[in-house]
Amino acid sequence: MSPTERFDQLGTSVNAELGDGPDNERRQRQRRGLLAATSAKTPFAPSRWRWALALIVAPAVAVVAVLASTSTAPDPDVLSQMLAAAAPASGAQVRELECRDASGVRIADRSYVAAEQDEQQLHFSDGSRLRLREAARLLVNRVRPTGVRLRLESGELQAHVKSGRGIVWDTLAGPYLVRVTEGQLQMRWEPEPQRLTVTMVRGQASVQGATILGGRLRVRAPETVVVTVRGDEVKRSASPPPRPQTLDGPRPVRADASQPTMPSGSRPTPVVAAPRARPTPPRKNRRPNRPRVTPEPKPLPAKAPTPPSAEPAAKTPPPPPKPLSWRELAADGDYRGAYAALAPALERLSATATSRDLIAVADVARLAGRPKVATGVLKALRKRYSSGADRARATFRLGRIAMDQLNDHARAVVWFQTYLREYPRGSRVGPARGRLMQALVRLGRRAAAKRVAESYLQRSPSGAYCPVAQKILGGDSAACGKP
């Protein structure tokens, strides 16, 4: 068969594989798109065209070379496989992430899991595991290949998150968000004192919340962090805490640590005594030992007395350590020490510091037990800056300080209403509306609280303050999170 006939047969086979091709309407659309792309003024990139031409020509050359080396017509199936191999490979599709309980039943999104009497375990298809203990109540809000979102309403949760999956695990506990991508941790949320305790066994995690300086706190193993909504307690233990029971069960403890244990079924290794050293036989014709003559030691010259002035000088004491700044003290969790360090410059900072620094100064004063000072700093920020995200944060913090630390619910209502009026699309709209209805209830204004609760449920039917809104309206908190 001549080369021309082989090329004709190749064209026939390719035409049969491609079929009729696109219709006239699709051709017109492709033609218009091609004309629009070629008419646009773009800089010429020679290297890009050379690579594109190489990618187009290489598969065709490979197909022609294979056909030229054979004397029979190509098989359409073989041709399809060759064209598929020459096409660029697409990325592997990420498989779906599933959550199932201990009995194998799949847990759907927005489903509640409670550990009333016995422990409850959840298993994910990527190998991650969760364990609920001590009357824990958990809402599985969303399970996706890119991220898992949970909400711990009460009790203790132990999580073992597998690494290398690229999945972000977010767990809401009250107003806090615990984020982890790999590791093993134990967290407990107590609704009554509104206290969150996070213990890292392995890996690291971040805790985000308004009562934390800077809004975020990083926890590394082995550390334990305790935070409260009132902001009067932020504790970090640097020493390793008592190791909690892991999801794999407690480790066995040896009875005697001084004696190594021997695995079952193994035989003891026999101890072979070292051979004794044989005495060296006396050599023949050995000369008798002659007595050694030890020379008399020479007397050492007497040392001259050291004058008093030649005595070694006393060592200079090291300089005292440089005191830590108020930022370093606050980062270590010593808020009282940080406030004592910045108190002399408080007036100057209120008049000259940036909005971000004023937020940090107010957080230090608030966490150090000086809510009135923090209120003054935040008001100075609102007076100096007429817009910006820090001004919005200052407005929300003013309401929270008035409600939690000053016990001034009327002033808290004013600040939360101010936030909702000035920032209707702000990041703290949900918490501001939730705290507003709580403050109205404490003031005895139940009619106004019901209006705010209805508005909250319309906008956030599965938000953190949904149980509070349902209680104000006389509904059932179990309806929270259901579609």
Residue 327, pLDDT score? 86
Residue 268 has pLDDT above 60, yes or no: no
Q: Across the chain, what does the average pLDDT equal? A: 75
Closest by CA position to 465, among listed 147, 151, 138: 151
pLDDT band at 195 (very low <50, low <70, confident <90, very high): confident
Residues, the chain: 483
Residue 288 has pLDDT above 60, yes or no: no
Residue 225 to residue 134: CA distance in whole angstroms: 20
Residue 228, pLDDT score? 82
Residue 308, pLDDT score? 58
Residue 76, pLDDT score? 41
Rounded to 5 degrees, what angle do the CA atoms 291, 295, 296 make?
130
Residue 406 to residue 408: CA distance in whole angstroms: 5
Residue 243 has pLDDT above 60, yes or no: no
Indicate where the chain has its CATH 2.60.120.1440 domain(s): 99-237
Percent of the chain, pLDDT > 70? 62
Range with the largest mean pLDDT of 131-145, 154-168, 283-297, 373-387: 373-387
Residue 47, pLDDT score? 47
Residue 154, pLDDT score? 86
In single-letter form, the type of residue at position 363 comes to: D
Q: What is the pLDDT of residues 301-324, one digit of tens each?
A: 666 666 655 555 566 777 777 788
- Least confident range from 71-80, 192-201, 394-403, 466-475: namely 71-80
Q: What is the pLDDT of residues 331-390, one digit of tens each?
A: 878 888 999 999 999 999 889 999 999 999 999 999 999 999 999 999 999 999 988 899
pTM of the predicted model, to two decimals?
A: 0.44
pLDDT band at 330 (very low <50, low <70, confident <90, very high): confident
Cα 441 to Cα 396, 416, 428, 446, distances in angstroms: 19, 14, 20, 5
Residue 1, pLDDT score? 61
Residue 332, pLDDT score? 77
More confident residue, 93 or 54: 54
Residue 302, Cα to own-chain centre: how many angstroms?
A: 74
Residue 395, pLDDT score? 95
Residue 414 has pLDDT above 60, yes or no: yes
Q: Which sign, positive or negative, has the C-alpha torsion 136, 138, 144, 146?
A: negative
Indicate where the chain has its CATH 1.25.40.10 domain(s): 343-479
Residue 249 has pLDDT above 50, yes or no: no
Residue 177 to residue 184: CA distance in whole angstroms: 16
Residue 120, pLDDT score? 81
Which CATH code fits 343-479?
1.25.40.10
Rounded to 5 degrees, what angle do the CA atoms 471, 473, 476 make?
50
Mean pLDDT over residues 390-415, rounded?
94
- By three-state DSSP, how is residue 100 classified? strand
Residue 392 has pLDDT above 90, yes or no: yes
Count the neighbouring beta carbons within 10 Å of the beta carbon of residue 346: 17
Which CATH code fits 99-237?
2.60.120.1440
Q: What is the pLDDT of residues 203-218, one digit of tens each?
A: 888 888 876 766 778 8
Residue 424 has pLDDT above 80, yes or no: yes
Q: What is the pLDDT of residues 65-114, one digit of tens each?
A: 444 444 444 444 443 444 344 443 433 434 678 888 877 888 888 888 88
Range with the largest mean pLDDT of 60-69, 134-143, 293-302, 421-430: 421-430
More confident residue, 188 or 78: 188
